[in-house]
Chains A and B, each alone.
Chain A
Amino acid sequence: MGLRRRRAEREIPREATPPAYQGPMPVLTIDALGRKCPIPIIMLAERIGEVPVGQIIAVQADDVAARTDVPAWCRMKSQDFVREETLPRGWAFHIRRTY
């Protein structure tokens, strides 16, 4: 069991704009905006097989539960959680398919 510690409250920097993202881009983006948990996770699990191993799939969601559920799903299913991107409405979660 992992023992990664995390703060209860995420600190979101409000003023400094983060540097533009340089990493790999998703080859598939799923739109789960407006969908309540666990639908975004179900959609992710159903469609991750559509991207090649080693590539990135992104899920867009605005249910705040997804911020916990997507990384937790990745941990449970040994997929690689890459990053959370803030959208005008909700977030895009980037996941690298590992198998």
Chain B
Amino acid sequence: MAYFDAASTESLHPAARDALVAALDGGWADPQRLYGDARRARLLLDQARAKVAVAFGVRPDETFFTSSGTQAVHLAMLGALSARRRTGRHLVVGAVEHSSVLHTAALHEREGGRVTTVGVDRTGRVDPEEFAAALRPDTALACLQSANHEVGTLQPVAEVAEACRAARVPLFVDAAQSAGRAEVPAGWSLLAASAHKWGGPPGVGVLVIRKNTRWRSPLPEDEREGRRVPGFENVPGAVAAAAALEAYAAEMERDGPRLSALVDRIRERVPHLVEDVEVIGDPVRRLPHLVTFSCLYVEGEALLTELDRLGFAVSSGSSCTADTLRPSHVLEAMGVITHGNVRVSLPRGTSATDVDRFLAVLPGAVARLRRTAGVQVSE
């Protein structure tokens, strides 16, 4: 089985496994206590925090471990909105943010807040000028992802951060999809990331709150993680996440360009191999490992099942899933075909042979499904 769904999650990095096993034995004690075992756990946690802080170019006392990327998103947004309530209750979000961001925005709106959604162009990118124009004197927070999780397009974080700075509005960046793979431009106030996306263990997220950023916990008081994240610290998880990030980022510096060339190969070949297909997302300003295309007249789920049968694990933003009955909000906002959608995201170490095998079986898979659906479309 060739695994092409790194955007959902990476398998555990060997460096993370070693660190996790060691920390389960050496870092089990309560890091807030004063005896030897506790001090050892505290030391491991502090070292992990320092490593992650270096990776994001921030200070350790600005870096907090959460129980997931989603929890980091929730805490970043709700805490910033809560702290800036006197400024106003207006929130600005991009149209193609992760559902955790949009659901938090929806909650804010239900509770009497105002939300402005900034649309995207055909490639899924927000226009920094349109984003800047959405900022108001009563804007409490602006949110923009570093890169889109479904189509890989990089967002103009630097330009938007500059506009937010000028408007004195804090910017929250959801870096879940790019952390470990691409640097996040500076200028943001809050950031969220998720360790399992860079080969860390599940159940570990990262929340960064820069100094001079107003933030107030939206949750009941708790003394853990600098009063930012409630609950007993997952020291082994944090240690493994930090080890994975260090190893992964170093590998990606070498391997990222190779993966990016494989993505270019897919982007270039698919339109020649399959009729009536559209490769979507920005071809250049994109994540190194992710490409998405849509095949006309094919059900996304059926295509995924067929590719799974042929030995390829890929994902789809396509609609027609019984649980949502809604097309992907990303594809909808971009104005591109929402069915027959395939997202290929290459994990570390993907071989060119596997990519070529994928390109070899794809045309047949699409043709079979079109035949089954009785598609007889003349030009």
Contacts and interface: CB of A to CB of B under 8 A. Distances in A.
A63 B325 CA distance: 8
Q: Is the interface of B mostly helix, strand, loop or mixed?
A: loop
Nearest to B295: A38
B335 A72 contact: yes
A37 B338 contact: yes
Interface string B56-77: 0000000000000000000000
A65 B278 contact: no
A8 B327 contact: no
Nearest to A8: B95
B289 interface: no
Interface in A29-63: 36-38, 41-42, 45-46, 49, 63
A46 B377 contact: yes
B117 interface: yes
Interface stretch (B172-180, B237-245, B296-304): B296-304
Contacts of A4: 121-122, 335
Nearest to A36: B320
Which of B130, B319, B320 has its CB near the most chain A CB atoms (within 10 A)? B319
Interface string B160-191: 00000000000000000000000000000000
A15 interface: no
Contact of A46 (B119, B296, B299, B376): B376
B121 A65 contact: no
A5 interface: yes
Given A38-B298, A72-B336, A8 B377 contact: no
B332 to A, nearest CB: 5
Contact of A45 (B119, B123, B297, B339): B297
A42 B278 contact: no
Contacts of A2: 122
Contacts of A3: 121-123
| Interface range, B side | 35 or more
A41 B296 CA distance: 8
Contacts of B332: 8, 68
A1 interface: yes
A69 interface: yes
A36 B300 CA distance: 12
Interface in B107-137: 117, 119-123, 127, 130
Contacts of B335: 4, 6, 68, 71-72, 75
Contacts of A71: 335
A76 interface: yes
Contacts of B95: 7-8
B353 interface: no
Contacts of A42: 297, 373-375, 377
Contact of A68 (B325, B331, B340): B331
5 contacts: A1-B123, A37-B320, A41-B339, A45-B375, A69-B327
Interface of A: 1-9, 36-38, 41-42, 45-46, 49, 63-65, 68-69, 71-73, 75-76
Closest 4 CB pairs of A and B: A8-B95, A38-B339, A65-B327, A65-B319
